[in-house]
Structure 1
């Protein structure tokens, strides 16, 4: 019970405060509905504001936030290596995957309006997966549990399934990795995106401008390159686990429609 409440709290924080109903349902009987709850909410709001101010001051890039998100997942075994240096098979954790998906949205925002269609698709997939997760964070703590549920129900291949959402979010992260790894190449951003995603795009910012968007405060291009390499090393095992899981359930070749 304690573990589930903790997971729900993390998920609520992830969604930006959309879990007010869960918080009310979990309130302690006997409290005064007015003053005490109001004070607690005020105190919680102040703590969140202080955290936000600290985040703004740190001005971390999305890449460094992703690295920070992946590191605990690695320690929990969500992609840890075996003795031979190869990643051990793992059940991909849901909550870090959702957090990474939200960071993906922020990267797409930096590319510009050309990514509007892809961004909308990513947003819908996040919401679909998030909705199921919040129903029972303990039960759906891993993506394998979510996909396995739908496979048993015979709904995994449906257009609005969570299994399809997991697959396309993973593919979107594959695209992001390919794009970031090509930033050092001597070509403009439109060509990089086309090479990574195999589509022709317009209205792209210049590569140097996009690179500056990715930099955190006080961070230079050399540090960004190191961060990208570290992110790829951390994210690739998680994506490999997800693709292996989808292949196990014969869902790895699903198309968009």
Structure 2
């Protein structure tokens, strides 16, 4: 009974992710807004928005899946969690203004603080890259649920996170990512129930991929226009 509840929760996370991404997708469309005259607004049209609540809800769903995978993903989970907390704290200081992540980026860029210390700008960069890694891994998994998971993780890491990691971060991640569960185990974690067929699971994951990709593309456009796309860790 306990295992069934856990499986249902895992699947509800996929469905919840689809719901959050559907909300975010609305903001990908041009709304006809006009940019204001500040330097930051000239860099980025007002039609670009990243609603804080859906974005952080999506990131929290990633944490829930990482918790189910277990302690082998502790390093990855800790990074995601700390970055979520940083954005949440800033948002809570004035929700009426900072409901949109872009407003926070504007403030930090205008004040010259975006790249100094543990900023919200950096948190957004790394959360976006963590979701890049997730997207890449899901794309590989949905193509072949029987593929070698360690190889899939390595491919995804090398293309999404490794280019931005220094040797310390890279070494820590390499150890952790070699301990991920095999493909069948991960598939079972993501299923609605243990009896759910893979075709149904694939359909859910494919829908999530279709919604997540354009959201991340917009995030990268935002980061590039604010000069945050090349930030690296130690």
Q: Same fold judged by TM-score > 0.5?
A: yes
Distance 2:151 2:69 in 1: 13
- Report the CA distance shift for 1:170/1:134 in structure 2 as closer, same or farther (over 3 A): same
- Report the CA distance shift for 1:58/1:213 in structure 2 as closer, same or farther (over 3 A): closer
Deviation at 1:112, TM superposition (A): 3.0
Distance 1:220 1:159 in 2: 47
Q: Is residue 246–residue 252 contact of structure 1 (8 Å, CA) maintained in 2?
A: yes
Tell me which residue corresponds to 1:236: 213
The count of corresponding residues between Structure 1 and Structure 2 is 196
Q: Is residue 17–residue 58 contact of structure 2 (8 Å, CA) maintained in 1?
A: yes
Matches within 5 A, 1:79-90: 79-80=28-29, 90=48
Q: Is residue 61–residue 215 contact of structure 1 (8 Å, CA) maintained in 2?
A: no
1:195 pairs with one of 125, 136, 155: 155
- Report the CA distance shift for 1:107/1:56 in structure 2 as closer, same or farther (over 3 A): closer
- Report the CA distance shift for 1:132/1:118 in structure 2 as closer, same or farther (over 3 A): same
- What is the DSSP-based 3-state SS (H/G/I as helix, E as strand, rest coil) of the residue aligned with 2:229? coil
Deviation at 1:214, TM superposition (A): 0.7
Deviates more, 1:166-175 or 1:238-247: 238-247
Deviation at 1:121, TM superposition (A): 0.7
- What is the DSSP-based 3-state SS (H/G/I as helix, E as strand, rest coil) of the residue aligned with 1:182? helix
Q: TM-score, normalised by structure 1?
A: 0.70
Deviation at 1:106, TM superposition (A): 1.7
Deviation at 1:163, TM superposition (A): 0.3
1:145 pairs with one of 99, 103, 106: 103
Tell me which residue corresponds to 2:67: 109
Distance 1:123 1:210 in 2: 21
Distance 2:30 2:203 in 1: 21
Deviates more, 1:190-199 or 1:215-224: 215-224
- What is the DSSP-based 3-state SS (H/G/I as helix, E as strand, rest coil) of the residue aligned with 1:148? helix
Deviation at 1:203, TM superposition (A): 2.5
Distance 2:113 2:75 in 1: 25
5+ residue gaps, structure 2, are: 32-46, 159-172
Deviation at 1:219, TM superposition (A): 3.7
- Report the CA distance shift for 1:173/1:240 in structure 2 as closer, same or farther (over 3 A): same
Q: Is residue 24–residue 54 contact of structure 2 (8 Å, CA) maintained in 1?
A: yes
Deviation at 1:162, TM superposition (A): 0.1
Q: Give the structure, 1 or 2, with the largest relative contact order (CA under 8 Å, sep 6 or more).
A: 2
Tell me which residue corresponds to 1:24: none
Matches within 5 A, 1:121-140: 121-140=79-98
5+ residue gaps, structure 1, are: 1-54, 83-88
